[in-house]
Structure 1
Amino acid sequence: MHQLNSLEKRAAIALALVFSTRMLGLFMLLPVFALYGEQLVGFSPLWIGLAIGAYGLTQAILQIPFGWLSDKIGRHKVMLLGLSLFVLGSVVAALAESVYMVTLGRVLQGAGAIAGAVLALAADLTREEQRPKVMAIIGASIGLSFAVAMVAGPLLARWAGLSGVFWFTAVLAVCAMLIVAFLVPKSVSKAPMAETLALPQSLAAMLKHGQLLRLDAGVLILHLMLTAMFVALPALLNQQHLAAERHWQVYLPVLLGSFLFMVPMMIIAMRRQQEKRYFLINVLLLVIAMLICWQATTLWGLVLALLVFFIGFNFLEASLPAMVSRVAPAGQRGSAMGIYSSSQFFGAFLGGLLGGAVAQQFGFVAIFAVLAGIGLVWLAIASTMQVPSRAQRLSLPVAVTTEQQAAALAAKLAALAGVQEVTILLADQRCYLKVSAQQFELAQAQSLVAVGNQ
């Protein structure tokens, strides 16, 4: 963080806290609901899955609209609105006596879809060259919150029950609201919308982009597998005579061990420029993990399966958004990431629904056989993807008034060495570039833009 200025550091830390406290509350239900929800009226395997994954449905539906709303009424207002809905959902779930009301609470939690607004505010508050670092800090906070939730969830549920978990998530959301109100800096400018938020006119094109669709399908399946797995996993650990309050003793070393394997793989993949090969290897790890779970008859078998799964999961969770950013056309990253985020949350909803339905009809163990098959489908899809070379993204202000002027300037910029893509948006009066940093000369582009602006 040494190259970030004081405002950027404050923004990175404050927004990471907002993101991580909210995601911690969402994740904490995963390892505990299947065990501690048994006393709820209407409890069944199907409703286990629906309650676990319900937040994903409203997240998927509202993610892009909330981002648009933040551009109209302000990032802070939308963040406070979303967190208020999250608090309301947590309270509804905490007071619930039936699984149906818990599911309603989860739907309300998901309605606080503030991810787009948070990332847009992060872009507003940072310089373009420092923006990836701030986004990486926020992304890392999500991974950390997941790890903490896997440990804290079982311990808190043992001490305070399922309602205590929801009360705690409500308190976390109130803390996040205080951070937004008093710690998150107010933005005085807006980053170019096309690179941070989904543009309505770009969504149709993104839904037809074959390479992006492969990545969207990938993150959907990844989170489907994660959510569906936790419909069954807590019960299977219990069957191995591991008390619920001791489940963290499995999750903590598994998650730490997975990072020890995952990080070197990422470094090797990037250095050797073999990202696709390692991507496919990690999809295969997910399939292997599901097959081990399907056949496991001992606690150590489940531990091994979890370790293999989270090596693959952590690698893919870090790789997928980076690939989306690289594949997205210049000037359309916001739209690409908006659809990607919606796919991610929709996958969580489908995972809960599928896991609950399969468990209801065929038992918990059958979930893993189904997930192994879905993983093989993903492996086939991923084998056809193309990984583009690494590129830097830039945006420059322009002053062109007609499509002919924009086309002429774009043609001149595209002819420069190192330029991979050029997009000029007349509405934004900005030019978006994807360039090879080794070949591209910024001064040449700036002089062409200056001439075009005259």
Structure 2
Amino acid sequence: MKQNKAKRRFTLGMTLLERRSLFSLAGIYSLRMLGLFLILPVFSLYAHDLQGATPALIGLALGAYGITQALLQIPFGLLSDRIGRKPIITAGLILFALGSIVAAMADTIAGVIIGRALQGTGAIAAAVMALVADLTREEQRTKAMALIGLSIGMSFAVALAAGPVLNQWIGVPGLFWLTAILAVLGIAVLHLGVPQVTAPRHHLDVEPAPQQFLRVLGDFQLMRLALGIFFLHLLLTASFVVLPISLRDESGLDPAYHGYVYLPVLVTSIIAMVPFIILAEKKRRMKEVFIGAVAVLGLAELAWRFFHPSLAGTIVALWLFFTAFNLLEATLPSLVSKQSPAGSKGTAMGVYSTCQFLGAFVGGWAGGAVYGYFGFEGVFTFCAGIVALWLIFAATMEPPQYLRSQTLSIGKVNPDEAQLLAKRLAQVTGVADVVVVAEEGIAYLKVDDERLDKAALTEIGPEQMQSTQPSI
């Protein structure tokens, strides 16, 4: 009953169609991510028995999906503008299911690597986000994206807790078969639960735009953040190449009980990060909180390095790691949103997501290679070194401007009117940046809430322009 009330409060103001679309798409996204994450806590325990397995190849198999995901997610998103969202998402889920089947049937490490890489070709993230934007009004889009993000976080927590338990019942091949079933279920949800969009359009606040790439890639502050998510997922994947083995062989914990460690650690780490989110956002101490979280990651890796034979030491380090990891997973997208120029947030997030998947690929491969030469201690030392490098980039970044994105519906205007409107909007106090896209009938703004003259903003073009809620 309480959960239903919470959902109703969260979706307040949404139409029935928007709610149906949103929960269906969140379900598709979470089912896919659940399939990817389920093997994270158990794969390295299983893969040593595969023909041809070496530590480097085991790590490569764990992260192989990242390289194909990184290469294809932006092209698939752009292609969905041309041929439609549902065909791209359907094809992506079929590819993901096929990759899962290949990995499930493989008895060699090479076969699993091929299956994992094929899983990554089902790169539907950008297309799903675009479909969410197609099916929700601008004033509801912040809620919609927040729910998608929440579904990913829940999938990660469920996968870490459930993976070791399911592994005892069906094994890792069974987990791959389960991910294939989840992908097929996602296709059913897509076609039965998500309304058809007859004329998809491009959304600059959600989707990448080719003309914006040079602008984003040339922004050193944005690229520092993209490098940050690269490092974060490198650390996650590299650590999980050896952590399950360390828990079993060094700490003496039976793999059947690993999930009972991961779940409470994740839940309590999420609770622990909340005060720091408030400090970062409400008290405007984002840079200090960000640097502190990166430093805690390094502390966790060093704790694993020196205390991994101790179960208590491993659990404390795991809690530190996930407290910092969850905090950075929440703050990095917020920083990208604050830093990205008006009308470039979709492109900035596309580059950011690409770097995230590249980090998973490099982390798996590098973690396995280092493990093969230097053992557990070598991997944790390597990860601590990555954190030290990240700290240099984090400490020298500029404090973020506390700007939020806002969209204004302006109706039909010609290019000359759009240019004039952009100039008028730019003169409003508190508007830091503005782009008016005549084809979309939308103005994209970056505003400072503490200085924004809302009255002046609503007075501009009252016959053509209707303010919407912020899209963060």
TM-score by length of 2: 0.91
Q: 2-side partners of 1:176 and 1:400: how far apart?
A: 39
Choose from 5, 22, 28 the match for 2:15: 5
State the match for 1:46 in structure 2: 56
Matched, 1:93 2:103: yes
Choose from 331, 349, 353 the match for 1:337: 349
Q: Which residue identity does 2:384 align to in structure 1?
A: A
Matched, 1:390 2:403: yes
State the match for 2:323 in structure 1: 311
Q: Counterparts in 2 of 1:119-138, with a 5 A limit?
A: 119-138=129-148
**Amino-acid identity (%):** 46
Q: 2-side partners of 1:448 and 1:372: how far apart?
A: 58
CA shift digits 1:390-409 (9 cap, x unpaired): 3241133465555x665443
Choose from 454, 457, 467 the match for 1:440: 454
State the match for 1:242 in structure 2: 253
Q: 1-side partners of 2:453 and 2:290: how far apart?
A: 28
Native 8 Å contact 1:398 1:431 kept in 2: no
Q: Counterparts in 2 of 1:190-205, with a 5 A limit?
A: 190=200, 192-205=202-215
Instruction: Give the Å deviation of 1:89.
Output: 0.1
SS of equivalent to 2:434: strand
Q: 1-side partners of 2:429 and 2:151: how far apart?
A: 37
Q: Which residue identity does 2:426 align to in structure 1?
A: A
State the match for 1:362 in structure 2: 374
Native 8 Å contact 2:20 2:194 kept in 1: yes
Native 8 Å contact 1:396 1:432 kept in 2: no
Matched, 1:413 2:428: no
Matched, 1:290 2:290: no
Native 8 Å contact 2:104 2:174 kept in 1: yes
Matched, 1:146 2:146: no
Native 8 Å contact 2:406 2:445 kept in 1: yes
State the match for 2:242 in structure 1: 232
Aligned residues: 449
SS of equivalent to 1:395: strand
Structure 1 gaps of 5+ residues are none
State the match for 2:3 in structure 1: none
CA shift digits 1:172-212 (9 cap, x unpaired): 11111110010122235545522221111111111111111
Choose from 55, 61, 80 the match for 2:71: 61
Native 8 Å contact 1:90 1:169 kept in 2: yes
Q: 2-side partners of 1:101 and 1:397: how far apart?
A: 53
Q: 2-side partners of 1:445 and 1:87: how far apart?
A: 51
CA shift digits 1:114-159 (9 cap, x unpaired): 0001111111111111101110001011111011111111111111
State the match for 2:4 in structure 1: none
CA shift digits 1:18-63 (9 cap, x unpaired): 0111001101111111111222101111011101100000110001
Structure 1 pair 429–256 and aligned structure 2 pair: CA distance change class (3 A): closer
Native 8 Å contact 2:407 2:442 kept in 1: no
Q: 2-side partners of 1:50 and 1:392: how far apart?
A: 38
CA shift digits 1:267-317 (9 cap, x unpaired): 232222212111111111101000000111301111011000000000110
Structure 2 gaps of 5+ residues are 1-9, 466-472
Q: Counterparts in 2 of 1:260-299, with a 5 A limit?
A: 260-296=271-307, 297-299=309-311
Structure 1 pair 418–191 and aligned structure 2 pair: CA distance change class (3 A): farther
Q: Which residue identity does 2:256 align to in structure 1?
A: E
Q: Which residue identity does 2:41 align to in structure 1?
A: P
